[in-house]
Amino acid sequence: MDSLMSTLLTELFYQTGLSDLSLGNLIMITAGLVLLYLGIVKKYEPFLLVGIGFSCIVANVPGSTLTSDGGLFWYAYQGVEKLILPPLIFLGVGAMTDFGPMIANPSLVILGAAAHLGIFVALVGAQLLGFNLGEAASIGIIGGADGPMAIYTTMKLAPHLLPQISVAAYSYMALMPLIQPPIMKLLTTKEERNVMMKQPRFVSRLEKIAFPIVMAFMVNLFLPPVAPLITMLMLGNLLRECLAVTKLAETASNALLNIVTLVLTVAIGSTMAADTFLTGSTILIIALGLVAFAFGTGSGVVCAKIMNRLSGGRINPLIGSAGIASVPIAARVSHLVGQRENRRIFLLMHAMGPNLSGVFGTAISGGIMLALLAK
């Protein structure tokens, strides 16, 4: 009887996923738990980290059918692989975004360009580490802090690196409140952090309606490789600003954006299986992504310091870090760092200018890379 029971228990054990559970699976399950902790407990962009962390855990449970061909998470990933979800994300972001701060102070567009130095630092670093030019360009785009653009560029230039690059891009976007403040404080003085900026000028409704139409035309004319993303961003913004289709604007900026974000984060996390993710190239990509973020943050702040000097002390250098394209996370970080310094300082609207221009900076960088390298 004991022998029969032992045999039955042994057979039952081998029918479960426990027999195939490896050290790599345990490491990635731990990584998923860390992401959940950062999202739920620390509140670091839970909209991103909860879905990624949860699906990372499920993807590393041996025997799970969710991530195999025909599984639910596999279908979610098709939306990423076929480049359906990234443009829809941009549609929702456009519908919830006020481009007024960028239109009101176009000089701050310079900060959106300056904060993209990290892209090219990571690109050069990736090549020195042995990645080919297409792979290096895809890795570099992580520094733009634009998840949909990173996915779009990678699918065109290095689709085999999509899991690593998408995870790095979205993870660092979520961790910006942890990564950026030390760099911002290191590069600025207390006096600079206490600069109070004047209220931006009023932007008319006509300007706000004309902007997405003109930008969509210009991008399709001069940057066709990234036109699907920016076109949807501008369509979403036009829905918001024309005031004629408020229900569509509300749907795009709320229900649709939430649904697409949920599907996208689940799809990204489901690619973090130990057998494909725990490689030497993954470690290098994650390290290069961090370097790109650090250099982008630093170059934006340094450029803002220069503009502050040239303007006679009217620009708070903290807004330079918002030139990274993650909207509105980067602008919010600039504002929060300013608030910790002085509760009377309100930088959010000022930081949105370089933050929004960073989206176009990443699009231009990605467009040039795709034009030169895509087959």
Query: Could you list the mean pLDDT of each consecutive 10-residue stretch along the chain, which spans 375 residues?
Result: 62 59 92 94 90 94 85 92 94 95 91 91 94 95 89 92 90 89 95 92 95 96 92 97 97 96 94 89 92 94 96 94 89 94 92 92 89 81
| pLDDT computed for residue 332 by the predictor | 93
| pLDDT computed for residue 67 by the predictor | 83
Closest CA to 143 of 287, 293, 282: 293
| pLDDT computed for residue 69 by the predictor | 86
pLDDT tens column, 264-306:
999 999 999 998 888 889 999 999 999 999 999 999 999 999 9
3-state secondary structure labels for all residues of 127-178? HHCCCCHHHHHHHHHHHHCCHHHHHHHHHHHCHHHHHHHHHHHHHHHHCHHH
Spatial separation of the C-alpha atoms in residues 320 and 326, rounded to whole Å? 13
pLDDT tens column, 172-195:
888 899 999 999 999 999 999 999
Closest CA to 293 of 181, 130, 157, 132: 181
Spatial separation of the C-alpha atoms in residues 357 and 251, rounded to whole Å? 25
In whole numbers, what is the pLDDT of the chain averaged over residues? 91
Closest CA to 164 of 192, 131, 198, 196: 131
Note the pTM of the prediction, 2 decimals: 0.89
| pLDDT computed for residue 278 by the predictor | 87
Spatial separation of the C-alpha atoms in residues 64 and 114, rounded to whole Å? 45
